[in-house]
């Protein structure tokens, strides 16, 4: 699977899955731009790792529309063409339902969805503008089956998947593909504990598959991928 010559923007490039996807995309021949969140100054080692891998970081608060617009403009200036956008959604906080206020709920769910909305809209506009289509891949919040305090994560996940499917249906006829990867932490069991957890790169491999020409037959799909135990 190669991404030779393709331009890739990774939103959330310092998240575990975003970072792995950016590094793997660069290793597969893509030109990669990734977003740096506010306060990233203290994460110089991670930024340097991405830079050594060939990716270019751009500071942006992706909860703000003007900042996302600036991020896309910076990507346009650095990429041969924007072919792929990967949106690594931030993780909502884990909190029991009875300890969650309305303000907590709205802030927690909106945190993931505001970025996804801005990124989806700008990615589709960009893909339609250059006329060659493109591939938008959302990396959903991590699913932890059986764990308590997952109400905000579950709501964010389902809303993100609904946005993804609506985007796929609306713009699929115009060569825009939109899919998602759902990272899943395996349910703890004796057998699982005895085996080392699967690598984060397993999620990145699925992301890059959806970003590649090999997945041209997929649109509006959510693929699950194992991620390390937390």
With 0-12 / 13-18 / 19 or more C-beta atoms within 10 angstroms meaning exposed / middle / buried, residue 139 is: buried
pLDDT one-digit tens code per residue, 169-217: 999 999 999 999 999 887 654 344 444 444 558 899 999 999 999 999 9
Angle at 61 between CA 60 and CA 64, to 5 degrees: 120
Give the integer Cα–Cα distance in Å for 134 and 179: 11
pLDDT one-digit tens code per residue, 102-152: 998 888 888 778 999 999 999 999 999 999 999 999 999 887 766 788 888
Upper half-sphere CA count for residue 181 (Cβ side, 13 Å): 28
Give 44 or 137, the one with higher predicted confidence: 137
Pairing verdict, β 176-184 and 134-139: parallel
Beta bridge partners of 11: 87
Q: Where are the alpha helices (DSSP H) in 28-81?
A: 44-52, 65-78
Token pair in block for residue 57: 């970081």
Give the integer Cα–Cα distance in Å for 116 and 102: 21
Q: Can you list the domains of the chain with their CATH numbers? A: 7-226 (3.40.50.720)
pLDDT one-digit tens code per residue, 5-23: 999 999 998 888 999 999 9
Token pair in block for residue 97: 């339902």
Token pair in block for residue 167: 């985007």
Give the integer Cα–Cα distance in Å for 109 and 42: 26
Q: What is the pTM of this model?
A: 0.90
Cα distances (angstroms) measured from residue 43 to each of 15, 137, 229 = 11, 25, 23
pLDDT at 193: 45
Q: Using N-to-C axis directions, what is the helix angle for 102-130 and 151-171, rounded to 10°?
A: 20
């Amino acid at each position: 699977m190669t991404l030779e010559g393709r331009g890739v923007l990774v939103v959330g490039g310092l998240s575990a899955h975003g970072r792995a996807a950016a590094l793997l995309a660069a290793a597969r021949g893509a030109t990669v731009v990734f977003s740096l969140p506010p306060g990233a100054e203290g994460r110089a080692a991670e930024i340097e790792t991405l830079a050594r891998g060939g990716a270019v970081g751009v500071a942006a608060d992706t909860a703000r529309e003007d900042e996302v617009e600036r991020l896309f403009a910076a990507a346009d200036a650095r990429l041969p063409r924007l072919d792929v956008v990967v949106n690594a959604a931030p993780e909502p906080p884990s909190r029991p339902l009875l300890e969650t206020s309305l303000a907590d709920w709205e802030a927690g769910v909106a945190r993931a969805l505001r970025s996804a909305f801005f990124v989806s809209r700008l990615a589709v506009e960009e893909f339609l503008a250059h006329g060659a289509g493109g591939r938008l891949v959302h990396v959903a919040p991590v699913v932890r089956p059986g764990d308590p305090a997952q109400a905000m994560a579950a709501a964010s996940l389902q809303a993100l998947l609904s946005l993804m499917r609506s985007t796929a249906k609306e713009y699929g006829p115009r060569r825009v593909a939109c899919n998602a990867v759902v990272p899943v932490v395996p349910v703890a069991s004796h057998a699982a504990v005895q085996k080392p957890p699967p690598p984060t790169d397993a999620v990145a491999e699925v992301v890059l598959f959806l970003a590649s020409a090999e997945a041209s037959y997929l649109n509006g799909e959510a693929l699950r991928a194992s991620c390390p135990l937390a």
